[in-house]
Structure 1
Amino acid sequence: MAHLDQLWGAIIDQFDVDLVSQTVVLIGRVTDGSDAVTHRLEFLEVSELRFRNSIPGPWDYAEITEAHLARSATGGISIELVLWSNDAGISVSAGSAIFDGSLLEVESSE
């Protein structure tokens, strides 16, 4: 199962919104020393997309410092990405999401 924890510290290299197909694609890069790993997060059947920010810009880059996944009220998924601090973030509600080629599933708390 894919885990969003792998996005911790990722620099967002690409963030594409396709209104016609109702998809969002995020490409993020995590660097550890001289090694870099690129991750792809694709949201399908997007119903809501929100960017909130109270950090002055422009920024040199955007870094993901937290990633939270939950089941939405409609049975899809909700993902909250914190950028730098709680003062900036991206929220997406979608029917489903694919992370690095694997379908994201919300783990049951039972």
Structure 2
Amino acid sequence: MRTDALWGGTLNEIAVDLEKHDAKLTVTVVEAGQESNHELWCRRFTDLRLFNGLPARWDYAELTEVHVRFDSASSTWLLEAILWSDEAGLAVRCAELIMDGEPILASA
């Protein structure tokens, strides 16, 4: 499973379980008039960062870009997403990424 399908989608919710160190991103994507819903789980996160340097209020949060890479030195995943511009986004470092029930593999 690849996160490219999330580009241009709407980030509807970020749910965080602090006890388990899990974060779930709920995303809706509309492509060719078809709506699809996705869940991206960041399991056992060690770092979760949200930032926003845009002064205006948003009507919704667009996932303009989503980048994922596996850091073999630390055996962790890094998810970085841009929300509207480089001035706003999120970054998560975690042990495992699962999209729509399927693990994202280091070779993907």
Indicate whether the TM-score tops 0.5: yes
Q: Match of 2:54, as an amino acid? A: I
Unpaired stretches in structure 1, ≥5 consecutive residues: none
Aligned to 1:92: 92
**AA aligned opposite 2:103:** L
Tell me the number of residue pairs that the alignment of Structure 1 and Structure 2 aligns: 107
Q: Deviations over 1:32-75 (max 9, x none)?
A: 35420001100111100001111114211100011111123411
Counterpart AA for 1:25: K
Residue 55 of structure 1 corresponds to 54
Q: What's the Cα RMSD here? A: 1.4
Partner SS state of residue 6, structure 1: helix
TM-score w.r.t. length of structure 2: 0.92
Which TM-score applies when normalising by structure 1? 0.90
The ranges of structure 1 where at least 4 consecutive aligned residues each deviate by more than 6 angstroms after the TM superposition are: none
Matches within 5 A, 1:72-87: 72=71, 73-87=73-87
Please give the secondary structure, in 1, of the residue aligned with 2:67. Answer: strand
Residues of 1 paired with 2:2 and 2:78: CA distance? Answer: 14
SS in 1 for 2:4: helix
Give ranges in structure 2 of 5+ residues lacking alignment. none
Corresponding residue for 2:44?
45
The percent of aligned pairs where both chains have the same amino acid is 32
